[in-house]
Structure 1
Amino acid sequence: MFAEFKEFILKGNVLDLAVAVIIGAAFATITTSLTEDVIMPIVSAVLGTPDFSKMFILLATPPAELAGSTDYAALKEAGVPMLGWGQFLTVVINFIILAFIIFIIVRYANKIMAKKEEEETPSGPTEIDLLTEIRDNLKK
């Protein structure tokens, strides 16, 4: 069983997948920063809201000590039910950016692979065509 596990782990695909997961996690961090530190402040400025990620709708009355509070973190920590639509929108925008960038990378990789396949394809007749021609000539 250990030998099978070792063989499985040492396969190229598993190592490639591990590298992809690590790079993906680092890339997700960059995308999150782009969303939270660049894009959402611009969206917040356009909408006139200083911190868009902390926009929410209260679904119940907060405790007396937090009455009238607009501190999203404090209300969330107190367990007050609320819809954090600003944070949700931030995460959705983050996902769309990440998905678009991955789409561009995959699209570019597919173009490169298609171009490589075209270059490897022989331009003249194939071996089968040549063998068929030889066979036909021998029959004559």
Structure 2
Amino acid sequence: MFQGFKEFITRGNVLDLAVAVVIGAAFSGVISGLVEGFIMPLVGWLVGAPDFSGIAFSVPNWRGDTTEFPIGLFIQGLIMFVLIASAIYLFVILPIKKLQSLRKTTEEVVEEAAAEEVVLLTEIRDLLRAQSGAHSPSQTS
């Protein structure tokens, strides 16, 4: 029983998943700090304080009281989601894609140069074979 548990825990997939969860939690703090420390103040500076949590509507219930629906909390959460998603895209995904495209172009140039060299070497080999085949002693006799 303990051996099976040990094998399960030390599998690569489980360890990779554990590392991903820890890194994701740390990265979440970074992105939240970026949104709360930079993007939300920037939005507040541009359009005013973006606080929608006070928006609500009331509906009478069956007891004669009213039930309040704080729809502003949903709106605030939705705006935060859009801002966090855009922050991740603009400050993480786009720079990484740019770096990958720069690295890929240099790798492609090296591969294209190697492919051209292979074609040239193949042509030289074929010419040498043709020349050695035309001047072989068995054909000149």
Amino acid aligned to 2:41? P
Alpha-carbon deviation of 1:27? 2.0
1:1-140 to structure 2, matched below 5 A, reads 9-10=11-12, 15=16, 19-49=19-49, 52-61=50-59, 80-84=68-72, 85-100=75-90, 101-119=92-110, 121-122=113-114, 125-126=117-118, 128-140=119-131
Shift of 1:89: 1.0
Where do 5+ consecutive residues of structure 1 fail to align? 68-78
User: Contact 2:57 / 2:69 at 8 angstroms: preserved in 1?
Assistant: yes
Deviations 1:3-43 (A, max 9, x none): xx76x9337xx73x654553333222111122123321342
Q: 1:92 corresponds to which letter in structure 2?
A: V
Counterpart of 1:72 in structure 2 is none
User: Structure 2 length normalisation: TM-score?
Assistant: 0.56
* Secondary structure at 1:60 match in 2: strand
* Per-residue Cα deviation, 1:37-85 (whole angstroms, up to 9, x for no partner): 3321342344343xx345343132599xxx9xxxxxxxxxxx8423232
- Number of residues of Structure 1 aligned to a counterpart in Structure 2: 116
CA distance 1:81–1:46, shift in 2 (3 Å): same
Structure with higher helix content: 2
Consecutive unaligned residues of structure 2, counting only runs of 5 or more, are 132-141
Which letter does structure 2 place at the counterpart of 1:91?
A: F
Structure with higher Rg: it is 2
- Distance, in Å, in 1 between the alignment partners of 2:129 and 2:37 is 75
The normalised TM-score by structure 1 is 0.57
SS in 1 for 2:89: helix
> How big is the alpha-carbon RMSD for the aligned residues of Structure 1 and Structure 2?
3.7
Q: Distance between the aligned counterparts of 1:37 and 1:114, measured in 2?
A: 36
